[in-house]
Amino acid sequence: MPQISQFFGIIIRMFYDEHNPPHFHAQYGEYNCCVDIQSLSVIEGFLPARALGLVVEWAILHKDELIANWYSIERQESLRKIEPLK
């Protein structure tokens, strides 16, 4: 699963053989969740509130890039790294 970003101990990834809706995976220590790109809601899993807040803040800033990466996955193309939250 390609890592597309990392910040404050949070790793953001996307899988190539994924299902709709368009989403990404966030990992923070032992916690994992899937986040819907359009609604920015958690589809599955759990992150502590502070980590989830950072993930949502990052995703708001990079929504267009996340969508572009999702379309790249559908075409089996390489994913682009996305700037971390600073």
**Could you state, in chain order, the average pLDDT of each consecutive group of 10 residues for the chain (86 residues)?**
94 90 97 97 98 98 97 92 96
Sheet containing 31-36: give its strands across: 3-7, 10-13, 23-28, 31-36, 42-45
- Check residue 79 and give its pLDDT: 94
Q: Tokens standing for 16?
A: 């190539």
Q: List for the chain the helix, strand, coil content (%; round to 5).
A: 30, 30, 40
3-state SS, one letter per residue, for 62-85: CHHHHHHHHHHHHCCCCCCCCCCC
